Chain A
Amino acid sequence: MSAAVLILAALGAWQLIVGMGVIDPLLLPAPTHVAVSLWEDRALLGPDLLVTLGEVLLGLAAAIAAGCVLGLGMHLWAPLRRALAPLVIGSQAVPVPVIAPLFILLFGFGLAPKVLMVALICFFPVTINLYDGLRDVDPDARKLMRTFGASRWRVLRFLEAPAALPQAFTGIKIAAAVAVIGAVFAEWAGSDPDWATPC
């Protein structure tokens, strides 16, 4: 409710500023103008929106799967952690506008490079948050499980996995928020209009 009020207030301020004629409407059109254009071009924008949404969801699903496997793997197996940690962090240092055209060249103009781009951006917050969540378990609870003589699997199942869930979901939320960036940049680097919407 309060969010809706805030959005309406922002739109109102925007409308007011454009209405005062301070800014050239060509640079900043009024929200009413934008809304009219959205509606008039709906036949064009609608299907494209679905295509992007599909890329985002597929990419996000791939990122969550990869993130869970990597986060869990790094937690359970130290050699994997040492080998992967620099690569995982390094993957986030690569600028999206640079890697996106490369993906287009490698994988063509279809769905694959977009999904891959989304997955590349999104797997990181999932991996890191799951990994940190699994590690940051109450040390007392860990000691307790040791005195119970619990196996590695049961420590994971009864203690670490449930304890890590909230943080894993935080990672997934962050991933969902940045997923669209990956999809848009990959589309922007090159798309074939025919692959998704055959005319």
Chain B
Amino acid sequence: MQADTEIRAGGTRRVRDDGHGGILVQRADKAFGPVRVLDGVSLRAGAREIVAVVGSSGCGKSTLLECVCGLQHPDAGVVRSEPAALMPQRDALLPWLSALDNAALALRAAGIAREVARARAHTHFEAFGLTGFEATRPAELSGGMRQRVAFLRTLLTGRPVLCLDEPFGALDAITRAQMQLWLAEALLREPRTVLLVTHDVEEAVVLADRIVLLSPRPARVIATLEVDLPRPRERTHPEVVALRERALRELGAGT
């Protein structure tokens, strides 16, 4: 059983051990000075569920993730999550480290010896399509590879919750589509509770079990859609298309 961290308004933390899996956000408010960012946001993710948070750029999605990761505290409301690992919007790979050392960074940060950390990271390199690029620096990796290294680094934290902040936002359309398929497969192999922030509605429908639609700032939940479709999901599947259109309509961008 995994100990939960409960983060309440005011920054008090309480470790819980009630076996609750995943994430629970209840009526979370957050403001930075006069700018209100979150306005009574509620969402939940059961253990090993993938929940997508969709909203326009700058609507407070990243702040929500940071609250779940414990980097921010809500002004009001409750954010409760099992220990979460963040994959930042830009991959934040360290340019002076090789792909292998970047992947192993979370282990090194936890105090694990270099060779042990490298060996553990390397066991995943084949499945991540990174074999042969162990010594390559991030600047020489393709965009898709950088994201895979960043995702591996997040995975190796060993946290049960992964917070992915627009993981494929900076990729070209073709690479993004490939990476979405790849992520779906990777999460089948290594199931985790995932909070996926994205502005790509289709990405949300293809990957998530539940979609939370947020309004422009301050972020308010417009609607929560359950995605009860079998995997792998085809983009052209009528139900996928229908759900995508419905989500876009809810966001005020429907046709």
**Whole-angstrom distance between the alpha carbons of A146 and B84 in the complex?**
11
Q: How far is the CB of A136 from chain B (nearest CB, A)?
A: 14
Q: 1/0 per residue B83-116: CB within 8 Å of A?
A: 0111011101010100000000110111100000
Per-position contact with A for B143-172: 1 when CB-CB < 8 Å, else 0? 000000000000001000000000000000
Q: Judging by beta carbons under 8 Å apart, are B70 and A144 in contact?
A: no
B66 touches A143 (CB 8 A): yes
Q: B92: which A residues are within 8 A, CB to CB?
A: 138, 140-141, 143-144
Find out whether the CB atom of A162 lies under 8 angstroms from the CB atom of B89: no
The reply on A150 being an interface residue by CB < 8 A is: yes
Task: Assess whether A147 is in contact with B90, with CB atoms less than 8 Å apart.
Answer: no
Residues of chain A with a CB closer than 8 A to B90's CB: 140
Query: Residue B52 at the A interface, CB < 8 A?
Result: no
Residue with the highest number of chain B CB atoms closer than 10 Å, among A145, A148, A155: A148
A33 at the interface (CB under 8 A from B): no
Across the interface, name the chain B residue whose C-beta is closest to A165. Answer: B96
Contact between chains at A149 and B96 (CB < 8 Å): no
Is the CB of A173 closer than 8 A to any CB of chain B?
no
Judge whether B86 and A147 touch: CB under 8 Å. yes
- Judged by a CB distance under 8 angstroms, whether B69 is at the interface is yes
Q: Count of A residues near B, CB < 8 Å?
A: 18
Known: A143-B71, A162-B94. A148 touches B88 (CB 8 A): no
Indicate if A159 sits at the interface (CB-CB under 8 A). yes
Q: Is the CB of A146 within 8 A of B88?
A: no
Q: Which chain B positions have C-beta within 8 A of A162?
A: 94, 96
A148 in contact with B157 given A140-B90, A143-B71 (CB within 8 Å): yes
Given contacts A140-B88, A140-B89, A162-B96, contact A148 B66 (CB under 8 A): no
Report yes or no: A149 in contact with B110, Cβ–Cβ below 8 A: yes
**Chain A residues in 8 Å Cβ range of B86:** 143-144, 147
Contacts of B84 on A, CB cut-off 8 Å?
A: 147
Report the separation of the CA atoms of residues A36 and B151 in the bound assembly, to the nearest whole angstrom.
68
Is residue A154 within 8 Å, beta carbon to beta carbon, of the partner chain? Answer: yes
> In the assembly, what is the distance between CA of A144 and CA of B157, in Å?
11
CB-based contact B109/A149 at 8 Å:
yes
The residues of B that contact A147 with a CB separation of less than 8 Å are 69-71, 84-86, 157
Q: Which of A118-167 contact B (CB under 8 A)?
A: 138, 140-141, 143-151, 154-155, 158-159, 162-163
Closest to B87 in A: A144
- Complex partner residue of B94 from A146, A148, A154, A159, CB under 8 angstroms: A159
Contacts of A145 in B (CB 8 A): 109
- The distance from the CB of B249 to the nearest CB of chain A, in whole angstroms, is 34
Contacts of A148 in B (CB 8 A): 85, 105-106, 109-110, 157
What separation, in Å, do the CA atoms of A155 and B25 have in the docked complex?
29
How distant is A163 from chain B, measured CB to nearest CB, in Å?
Answer: 8
Interface residues of B in 196-253 (CB under 8 A from A): none
In the bound complex, how far is the Cα of B95 from the Cα of A162, in angstroms?
A: 10
Q: How far is the CA of A124 from the CA of B94 in the complex (A)?
A: 28
Nearest CB in chain A: distance from B40 CB, A = 25
With contact pairs A148-B105, A158-B105 given, residues A143 and B110 touching in the complex (Cβ less than 8 Å): no
Question: Which of A144, A149, A150 contacts B88, CB < 8 Å?
Answer: A144
Smallest Cβ distance from B170 to chain A, in angstroms?
13
Q: What's the Cα separation between A148 and B87 when bound, in Å?
A: 11
Q: Which residues of A contact B111 (CB under 8 A)?
A: 151, 154
User: Which B residues have a C-beta under 8 Å from some C-beta of A?
Assistant: 66, 69-71, 84-86, 88-90, 92, 94, 96, 105-106, 108-111, 157
Given A143-B86, A149-B110, 14 new contacts (CB under 8 A): A140-B92, A141-B92, A143-B66, A144-B86, A144-B92, A147-B85, A148-B85, A150-B109, A151-B111, A154-B108, A154-B109, A159-B94, A163-B94, A163-B96
A-B contact pairs, 20 of them (CB 8 A): A140-B88, A140-B92, A141-B92, A141-B94, A144-B86, A144-B88, A144-B92, A147-B69, A147-B71, A147-B84, A147-B85, A147-B157, A148-B85, A148-B110, A150-B109, A155-B109, A158-B109, A159-B94, A162-B96, A163-B94
